[in-house]
Amino acid sequence: MKKIVNLSLILAVAVVASSCNCFKKMAKKVDDVTITCNPEVLTLKGSNVVTDVTVTFPEKYYHKKAVAKVTPVLEFEGGSIEGTPQYFQGSKVKDNYTVIDKKTGGSYTMSVSIPYDPRAEVSTLVMVVEGRCEGKDAEMTEVARIPVAEGVNTLQNSMDYSSALEMLSDKYEKTTTISEKADIMYTINQSNVRKNQLTTEQIKALESFITENVDKDRVTLGNVYANGYASPDGPLDLNDKLSKARSESGKKALSKELKKVEGVNYDAAAYGEDWDGFKELVEASNIEDKAMILQILQMTSNPVERDAQIKNMSAVFEQLAKEVLPQLRRTQLVATAEVQNLTDAEIVAAIEKGDLASLSLEQLLYGATLIEDNATKAKVYEAATKYNDARAYNNLGVVYAEMGNWAEAGKAFAKAAETSADAAINNNLAVGAIAEGKVAEAKQYIAGASAEAKALAAVAEGNYAEATGKLSGYNAAVNYVLEGNLSAAKSALAGDNSANAEYLRAVIAAQEGNKSEASAYAKSAIEKNPALKAKAEKDVNLKGIEF
């Protein structure tokens, strides 16, 4: 700590004009009174400007009948805010204030805590001294206004809040798989394709699918598969042969139907007894004993034993033979195609042309991730909000925040929350409120927010120790500086050469008393981000540093 101000001129002038005789006597040795601040620079901690102001009175100085009221006042352009006053009294005053003995003198430390106003970043802390020498009912008279500190260290507000925000993912797929299926049904123990099986709506839809996609632009038709199955009744060997014969006959029938369509590749596969299909149909049926059937399937894996046990349930088997088994005697024809969606270059081209209306929701959400410029990115997300999708509003809010527009970011997060309860949106609402200084509002979201968001909330409340170890990179470095651990702060900044990191290095160097190094870092920061010059001009941390 050091002596901040010499009181002789300030107090002596005021006392001469006062009728308070005891203060006139005190003015003779006022030069020996010291006022110090610790920290010497006012500091924003939580929502208050704090410092400890210590007043030291010399021996044989303080009048036995004097009462002094000392009020800390933070003065700034456009206003002032008073802190809590402290009263002192001489040894013969019959009050309950802090006693300063005339013979020995004494010191008293005032813990100053004044609500912060953003205008007070450039300010002066003034100790307003009022006094009286008469009895307790005598009127206080202002005897001095003593400036003790200038400026407020607002480093606490330098956190990179946008780094704690969370984006919501798009579902854009560069390729989409489309397919069409159709079944050719067979009679029991048969594998020949009946004519009526080639005229069904399913078959016609499949043929149209293949015809349309075999040489369509941006579409690659895959193999057309004929998958043969048999119902799980009768001998196992026979069913295996049936499924193979059915796959081949189905393949042949379809290829014959499409013989004029070139470029189609056909394949066949046999799957034997279709126990999976059997289980699905039983589960979906109203068969009275279906629970027992399903239990047999679960307890018995051998297909022959399964078949035997189910057939022993004679009444049930008759129903199965009528309602379920015929649906399993089939060849399933499957055609798939890969559709090439818009490429990255095509999406970016549409964005650059301003043709956002031509893009779908998922294309817009994905396209925004391909853009570096935040202003353009914001326009893309704004266009996506027409779909009233929470992801569009949430991601728009993140971009607004990265642009420094936290008010609009908060509105976007609120809109996202109207249509989704996603944890990321809750997290962003918390971070947005913290960034705007609305810590009380942030608390309604903080329970479900990320560990990083909770740490930022702790910093905003001045609980720096609580945030230690829960932040990384630049934010961790800021928190270390707030705690006074400059070595740890420098380590946390390792590898980060951003404008904000260079600015923080300037602050650290200034606190270490290295003005030349602080100047170099400040100049580097401003070169990378010219907007930081205005911040540096008001920053009490860089007072006296050339940049």
Looking up residue 144, the CATH number of its domain turns out to be 2.60.40
The span from the first CA to the last CA of the chain, in angstroms, equals 27
pLDDT tens sequence across 73-95: 999 999 999 999 999 999 998 88
Q: Check pLDDT > 80 for residue 1.
A: no
Residues 108 and 221 in one domain: no
Residues 333 and 241 in one domain: yes
Residues 120 and 194 in one domain: no
Residues 446 and 380 in one domain: yes
Give φ, ψ of 539 to 5 degrees.
-75, 115
pLDDT tens sequence across 139-195: 888 888 889 999 999 999 999 999 999 999 999 999 999 999 999 999 999 999 999
Residue 169 is assigned to a structural domain of this protein = no
Q: What's the whole-model pTM score? A: 0.79
Residue 61 is assigned to a structural domain of this protein = yes
Q: Check pLDDT > 50 for residue 444.
A: yes
Per the structure, the count of domains in the chain is 4
Residue 21 is assigned to a structural domain of this protein = yes
Residue 321 is assigned to a structural domain of this protein = yes
Residue 385 is assigned to a structural domain of this protein = yes
pLDDT tens sequence across 300-348: 999 899 889 988 887 889 899 999 999 999 999 999 999 999 999 999 9
Structural domain harbouring 277: 175-340
Q: What is the mean pLDDT of residues 464-469?
A: 96
- Higher per-residue confidence, 205 vs 7: 205
Planar angle of CA 144, 147, 153, nearest 5 degrees? 155
Residues 252 and 179 in one domain: yes
Residues 148 and 244 in one domain: no
Residue 255 is assigned to a structural domain of this protein = yes
Looking up residue 457, the CATH number of its domain turns out to be 1.25.40.10
Residues 438 and 513 in one domain: no
Choose one of 340, 359, 376: the last residue of a domain. Answer: 340
Residues 277 and 302 in one domain: yes
Residues 32 and 121 in one domain: yes
Residues 26 and 61 in one domain: yes
CA 414 to centroid of chain Cα atoms = 14
Taking residue 537's Cβ as centre, other Cβ atoms within 10 Å add up to 10
Looking up residue 300, the CATH number of its domain turns out to be 3.30.1330.60
Choose one of 407, 441, 462: the last residue of a domain. Answer: 462
Choose one of 462, 489, 520: the last residue of a domain. Answer: 462
Nearest to 410 by CA among 444, 380, 434: 434
Taking residue 488's Cβ as centre, other Cβ atoms within 10 Å add up to 16
Residues 370 and 308 in one domain: no
Residue 45 is assigned to a structural domain of this protein = yes
| Residue 121 DSSP code | G
Looking up residue 470, the CATH number of its domain turns out to be 1.25.40
Residues 299 and 368 in one domain: no
The identity of residue 328, as a single letter, is L
Q: Do residues 207 and 234 lie in contact, with contact meaning Cβ atoms separated by under 8 Å?
A: no
Residue 168 is assigned to a structural domain of this protein = no
